[in-house]
Every structure is written in C-alpha cells, then in structure tokens.
Amino acid sequence: MSEARNLFALLRQSADPGTVSAIEELVHDAPDRALCRVNVLDFAAKRGLDGERAIAAFLHAARLGIFELSWNVLCPSCAGVLDASATLKSVNREQYHCAWCAAGYEPVLDEIVEVTFTVNRRVRRIAAHNPEELPFPEYFRQIFWSSAIDLPEDLDQLIQEITLDTVELPPGDKALLSLQLPAELVIVLDPVTHTTQFLEVKGEPTRERQTLSLIFDKVRTSTETIELRPGPLRLSLENHTDFRVLPGLWIAGGPLEQLLHRRRPFLTAKRLLTNQVFRDIYGADTIDVDQRLKITSLTFLFTDLRGSTELYERVGDLAAFDLVRAHFQVLNEIVAAEAGAVVKTSGDAVMATFPTPDRAVAAALRMREAMRNLKDARGGDGLMLKIGIHEGPCLAVVLDNRQDYFGRTVNIAARVQGLADTRSILATRSVVTHPTASSLLETSGLTPLAHHRALRGVADEMAVYEIP
C-alpha cells in the first residue's frame, strides 16, 4: 500500500483534497464490491461531495493508475451491461442487442454508455478482478448490472425470491435441474454469455414431466419463446464455453420489474466528453478517426469578441493577443466550472459544450459579467462578448486530430451566435424552455424575448430568444 500512498499524495496535487481523502478512504476501507465499477455521481451524493470535483478527482486517479476507467454499453431497458471496454473506441457496433429484453439499441452516448471506475489491482486487490470467482448474486451486482441500477443490500435474498433455481456450471460441464414451473413468464438467463430463453408457462397445469435443454456457447443467439405448461420440468444445461456460466430461472414478475426500475443517476459518456478535465487528460485519443458516435442532446455555446478587428488595429497584434488570451483563460475557467468543456478556439471565438442547457445559460451569464470585470481591470474600452446557445442531437467525431462534434445542431448554434449583438445572449427555444434553464433565468430576473429570425441555410424559421 505504500505505492498507493504515494499515488494519493500525487493525486492531492491535481484534485480537490477533500474529494481525494474520500477516495483514499474508499480504497482503504470499503468492501470489495464498492470498488468495482464505481458510480462517481452516487459516490459524490452519498458523501456530500460536489459531482464535478468527484469526476475530476476520479479522472486524475485513473490517469495515475489508481483506477481503471471502463466504458460500458448499457441496455436502457434492464440496465444490464451489454459490452464493457477500456476505451470508447471499442463502441463501434451499429447496434447492441440485449438478450434479456430481446431488443437492439443504437449506442447513443447520452444514456446507453456509462463510465465507471474500478480500483486497479496493484492498488487494491478485489474479488471482481477475477469475475469468474464471484458468487452468483455478486456477479449480477458487480458485472452484469450497470451502475445505473441501485441494487439493494439484500440482493442475495431478493434473488432467491425471484429465481426458481440457479446453478454454477464450470467450463464443459452439464447439469440437470428438476423443478416445478409456476404459471408465469420465466426467463432462463446466463449473465456471462448473455444467453436467454423465454419460457411462457400457461394453460392447464400438468403432472407430466416436460423436458428442455439449453446450450451455452459464445455465440449469442436469439431464440423464440417456448410455451410450456405449469408443472414439472427437467431442464438440461450444457456449458460449451471455456469459462464458468451462471444460468438461472428468473420469474418475470412484479418484484423483478421493481428491481430493474431502481435507477440512479450515473456518469454518462456524454457527460465525460463534455468535461474539461477529461478533454485535458485524454484529448483526441478517445474516439477513432472512423467513429461517429451519436449524442441525443448536447448543448453548444459559441462566443465571439465584438469589435476584435478594430481592437487589433488599434492596439496592435501583440497587445491584442495578450488581451484575447486573457479572455480565453477567463472563459475556460467559467466553462470548466459549469461542467462544460472548450472544444476549440478559432480566432477570438470559442466553441464549448455542456451536458445540459442550464449549465450553458449559467456559463453565458457569468461570461458576460466576467467580461465587464476584465474590461475594468485592463482600463481599456471594452471586450464585449457575443454569445449563442443551442441544444440538440449531434455526432461525436474526431476531426483534425481533435475530438470534435458535427451536425446541424452545431451549425445552428454557430449561426445563432452570428446573430448576437453586443452583450446579448441569444438562445434557441429548446434552451430557454429547458426547465432548469428557465428557472435559472427566472431566479436571475431575466425574461427571454422571442425574435423570429431566419437562419441562413436552415429551412424553418427558428425562434431565437434574446436574454437581456
């Protein structure tokens, strides 16, 4: 643990000390399962820590090798992990299939990809480092289900209630289960291979023994639902893989539904991409050149300095550069403080992203205020910022060796910024009607004024609101 102690000393230099202490305590004292696929938002909430600081601290910890970062593709319906990888580059399928829910999903980065942190085995050895040895309920808790599901402490007991039977089947082994089928929808599921068989048990109860055999191999096949009658079943299970499987018969009833609906917020891939610390540490290395990952909703904020050309002419390129750089620094700090990230600068313009519209609006208000201060401190006349905000779907891509975003939403956001005048903040309808954003404006005593403006290249006239 002395290596670990050094790492935590290093971590304290780059992350919030209070958060670092909480993480160090976690690594030192928490049970194994609390160190596998840590849900950072839940960790922060339980300890009363700021979410952004917690994310930053875990990112720095991952960079130092204290934790390993994992990108997990989730089933939005059952919250199971469909695929897990150390890099977002592996999220490269058009669709991910959930055997349990018998449905396919496109991997959008908002809700379908989560980011979790597992303690590094060199720092602390935990049971989940060898998932093959985890007991049945712990495999479900730590490996099968994502951090989006808030599993009860007594998961063990609950599983006993909602499963008819479970068995641990070593590689190459067979098992024969004799059981009584109730009149329910029963799901035979192995969480390791994600093999599923639906059994619809209905009709007249029978005393005749029904038989069924299932084979587990690495090929995920989807099978038709089998109809059976209530009564005795002999289930033959065969493991054709070279690892342990954990088949069980789950009753798809109220208690299971309830369990799957116990959701909690989790760190999405989107939130991480639009986090400044993440961009600073991981940069363009997140996405492959050929990847184009969908995001359902991302908020874009563009700024531009008004009258910068006159400014350059008046004070000269050198002095103008220093001023522009000072203004970049101020904007960077505000963006980072509002959970956003600066994607790039161009001339004296900034393109930034935020996870939600309210954060972008809050940042815009702070930017406007900060420019006033920058101007006063410099004694010159005026840096005035033109700001535009828009929210919508986009693609996360790599362009020009940089993690970037692409699509109509980005274009519109830039165009909205282009319409802004001195000191005005322009935002689209989806931004000002976002509940948190609108209450933020109300609290600030600001009423957005609607302007119907045609945006070049955008077919429909858009409602653009001016935040005075």
Residue number with CB closer to other proteins (179 or 454): 454
Tell which positions 311-370 bind other proteins, by CB under 8 A.
312-313, 317-318, 320-321, 324-325, 328, 342, 344-347, 351
Which residue in the set 393, 423, 440, 453 belongs to the binding site for other proteins (CB under 8 A)? 393
Which residue in the set 36, 397, 427, 462 belongs to the binding site for other proteins (CB under 8 A)? 397
Query: Does 380 engage in binding with other proteins (CB under 8 A)?
Result: no
Q: Dihedral (C-alpha) 191, 195, 196, 197: value to the nearest 10 degrees?
A: -140
Window contacting other proteins (CB under 8 A); options: 42-50, 141-149, 220-228, 397-405: 397-405
Which residue in the set 411, 429, 440, 446 belongs to the binding site for other proteins (CB under 8 A)? 411
| Residue in 433, 443, 422 with CA at minimum distance from that of residue 463 | 433
Q: For residues 15 and 56, is the Cβ–Cβ distance under 8 A?
A: yes
Which residue in the set 208, 400, 443, 445 belongs to the binding site for other proteins (CB under 8 A)? 400
Residue number with CB closer to other proteins (246 or 277): 277
Residue number with CB closer to other proteins (141 or 415): 415
| Residue 458: CB minimum distance to other proteins, A | 6
Query: Does 292 engage in binding with other proteins (CB under 8 A)?
Result: yes
Strand partners, 119: 67
Q: Round to whole Å and give the CA distance between 116 and 466.
A: 39
Window contacting other proteins (CB under 8 A); options: 43-51, 201-209, 252-260, 309-317: 309-317
Residue number with CB closer to other proteins (441 or 462): 462
Tell which positions 105-134 bind other proteins, by CB under 8 A.
none
Residue number with CB closer to other proteins (258 or 321): 321
| Residue 390: CB minimum distance to other proteins, A | 12
Query: Does 285 engage in binding with other proteins (CB under 8 A)?
Result: no
| Residue 348: CB minimum distance to other proteins, A | 9
Window contacting other proteins (CB under 8 A); options: 121-129, 212-220, 394-402, 427-435: 394-402
Residue with tokens 């049971």: 127
Q: Round to whole Å and give the CA distance between 356 and 390.
A: 10
Window contacting other proteins (CB under 8 A); options: 77-85, 378-386, 399-407, 433-441: 399-407
Side-chain-facing half-sphere of 57: CA atoms under 13 Å: 24
Window contacting other proteins (CB under 8 A); options: 10-18, 148-156, 378-386, 392-400: 392-400
Side-chain-facing half-sphere of 436: CA atoms under 13 Å: 8
Window contacting other proteins (CB under 8 A); options: 54-62, 270-278, 374-382, 409-417: 409-417
Q: Round to whole Å and give the CA distance between 286 and 307.
A: 36
Which residue in the set 29, 224, 377, 459 belongs to the binding site for other proteins (CB under 8 A)? 459
Residue number with CB closer to other proteins (5 or 93): 93
Query: Does 414 engage in binding with other proteins (CB under 8 A)?
Result: yes
| Residue 322: CB minimum distance to other proteins, A | 8
Query: Does 263 engage in binding with other proteins (CB under 8 A)?
Result: no
| Residue 401: CB minimum distance to other proteins, A | 8
CB burial class (10 A; 0-12, 13-18, 19+) of residue 109?
Answer: buried
Amino acid of residue 422: T
Which residue in the set 303, 308, 353, 356 belongs to the binding site for other proteins (CB under 8 A)? 308
Residues of this chain that bind other proteins (CB under 8 A)? 283, 292, 307-310, 312-313, 317-318, 320-321, 324-325, 328, 342, 344-347, 351, 393-395, 397, 399-401, 404, 406-408, 410-412, 414-415, 455-459
